[in-house]
Structure 1
């Protein structure tokens, strides 16, 4: 899997702190090891690029389009749900369908770029992503939207690793360091303002606008790529693509996530739920067997023999599980329970990237000074405190007194975590395996978000229903009225009862619904905090003491 970077030359190459700081910002917004993936690309191959700045612009536009789309959708979910009459499970799949195919295909998608040509695969990914975006924008019902989102995920799995590989193929030496800084800095800005801009599009026009906006971006990206990017290949990429591994990974994760999302509706003991979860486990076990016996696996299992590498990936799984879940349910809660507009909900999340951008310069050098174990214990622990602070968010509380401090602490925890996580993943395997290691860690982070939306959906829905039932008991609402009003409708056709949008916000029923949604977020935040604290504990016992070279940090 050289497309995720088989070479380690750049790992040992110094990158100025100012560029590293920007890279950490986008790493936290997109995926924990996107910076790591770029830095582990092989040296430039193929014919020289005559229009390097335009080639860099194409990679920035393409990758930013995919990153922004993943975050903007979260603030649009309440609007999508209201217009399409979708269930909570359907809203989960609007996000999970994208993450499922991006996470399971990103490794093999990168290998396609090396084998078939990075520009060709990049443009194919852009075209597929754009066509799927149009299908999303025109979706008449939630089923077609989910299907289109799945195709978007496939397109992103082609364009994201290819865009990173193009930078490695086009730039060398100090030029590459500057290109990485530019890519990361602009990507950090677009990732930070993406939810705000997306929220504005939702408020001013429609949720469909967040998908239509991808079309002109895709056209501009394709034109730039055709004009400026050489269609480089890796001369050593002669191995067969691991399609069987990719297919079983997608099928196993999909079945497992389906069972979890159906659990709130049917119960964990329902045959459909148990069958889907069981099938997912069996298929994932088959995936592990395939990878263990394949000559060219997309995920070589031997890298997990390193205790540090295994520990770093466990920390990634737990911490980004919490982050992915919180960023999915928090905008929904702010809009439904706190009366935020979509724009305000997007802006409310800004403390996390801003704190990372301001403090990464300070914390970036700590890895080589103190070693990763201490930082990977402290960082997730602080993030866990931030998640815990979200649990005390009040429906009537001030943003600056409740939500802002929680997100600031969460941002601090992520800032402390990113650099040592990168250093540990890179330093725990031989140099020639650094690219494979970075690709695996990148995929783990995306799968963590997929699982978070599915698992925490159970926590959110069950807590919501239990809290709402208690509130309605206090209001002495008859049971038959609850059923006719579908306040506790088993299929969860809406998080709010029909007609809730027309209820005055001060009515007892509206207050009960808002309190139930806020209580559901508290439960989710507590689980996220527990996962972050567990990640801190695992780091303390799995990461060996010592330091890695500062160039890897």
Structure 2
């Protein structure tokens, strides 16, 4: 692979990383417009932001391990297809429940594409450049997180709130084409054995409970049954996860 091909391929990966992180913050500034458009309450509308963050946090580790086992390029392309497709669906949503549902699946796409950019970048340039790659990935992540509100503000000022989601579609197409044509398939060769299904389920339940409780504690009340239940359930699931992972042959 030539140096130019490596750089272009890595640019495709950083576009994917940028979008996945950007969408965790860009929507916040559009919530008042969305609330007005659908004539909804702030509590209900806030789920447009919350559900994406929840999906991102809960499925990121699982998505990265699936990619390590079955092929990072294949899973990355699947994640981009999910992310781009449901970004378009969010843009065209006709009701708030529809938009929230589409945002969940967009978050699944984000959870897939975000964590595997670093190992794919290392595969392109080699472990000797790991620190440089990690620095670039970190800088892009920080830029995307900080850039969400101002980028969203510009979109809201000059276009419809729907373009907060629509902006992802052309970027996804560019990233998909670059990665499909320029990046080689890679795996984590150290993985062995069958998928650790109990560990995957417990980790998902644990992260889901803890993330939901922390995100919605202020809204429902920290002493409410649903928040205490999800936080306690999340802690118990994580504890059981740690115990099981110390016993299974292929954690």
Question: TM-score scaled to structure 2, two decimals?
Answer: 0.85
Query: How far apart, in 2, do the equivalents of 1:92 and 1:243 lie?
Result: 28
Question: Given the alignment, which residue of 171, 177, 181 partners 2:125?
Answer: 171
Query: How far apart, in 2, do the equivalents of 1:243 and 1:234 lie?
Result: 17
Number of paired residues? 244
Aligned to 1:138: 92
Cα distance change of structure 1 residues 156 and 255 upon mapping to structure 2, 3 Å threshold:
closer
Cα deviation code 1:237-286 (max 9, x no counterpart): 1252432123312542466368736537xxx77xxx42x22431342113
Cα pair 1:110 1:162 within 8 Å, conserved: yes
Cα pair 1:255 1:280 within 8 Å, conserved: yes
Cα distance change of structure 1 residues 237 and 174 upon mapping to structure 2, 3 Å threshold:
closer
The ranges of structure 1 where at least 4 consecutive aligned residues each deviate by more than 6 angstroms after the TM superposition are: none
Query: How far apart, in 1, do the equivalents of 2:138 and 2:237 lie?
Result: 37
Query: How far apart, in 2, do the equivalents of 1:287 and 1:184 lie?
Result: 27
Aligned to 1:36: none
Cα distance change of structure 1 residues 283 and 186 upon mapping to structure 2, 3 Å threshold:
closer
Aligned to 2:205: 248
Cα distance change of structure 1 residues 251 and 180 upon mapping to structure 2, 3 Å threshold:
closer
1:103 and 2:57 matched: yes
1:177 Cα offset (Å): 4.1
Aligned to 1:54: 8
1:83 Cα offset (Å): 1.2
1:225 and 2:179 matched: yes
Ranges in structure 1 where 5+ consecutive residues have no aligned partner: 1-47, 299-553
1:172 Cα offset (Å): 2.3
Matches within 5 A, 1:8-157: 51-157=5-111
Secondary structure, aligned partner of 1:70: coil
1:179 Cα offset (Å): 3.9
Query: How far apart, in 1, do the equivalents of 2:229 and 2:145 lie?
Result: 36
Aligned to 1:288: 239
Query: How far apart, in 2, do the equivalents of 1:193 and 1:283 lie?
Result: 35
Cα pair 1:49 1:228 within 8 Å, conserved: no
Cα deviation code 1:303-329 (max 9, x no counterpart): xxxxxxxxxxxxxxxxxxxxxxxxxxx
Question: TM-score scaled to structure 1, two decimals?
Answer: 0.41
1:67 Cα offset (Å): 1.4
Query: How far apart, in 2, do the equivalents of 1:82 and 1:219 lie?
Result: 31
| CA RMSD between the two structures | 2.7
Query: How far apart, in 1, do the equivalents of 2:32 and 2:143 lie?
Result: 25
Cα pair 2:29 2:153 within 8 Å, conserved: yes
Query: How far apart, in 1, do the equivalents of 2:2 and 2:105 lie?
Result: 31
Query: How far apart, in 2, do the equivalents of 1:57 and 1:281 lie?
Result: 39
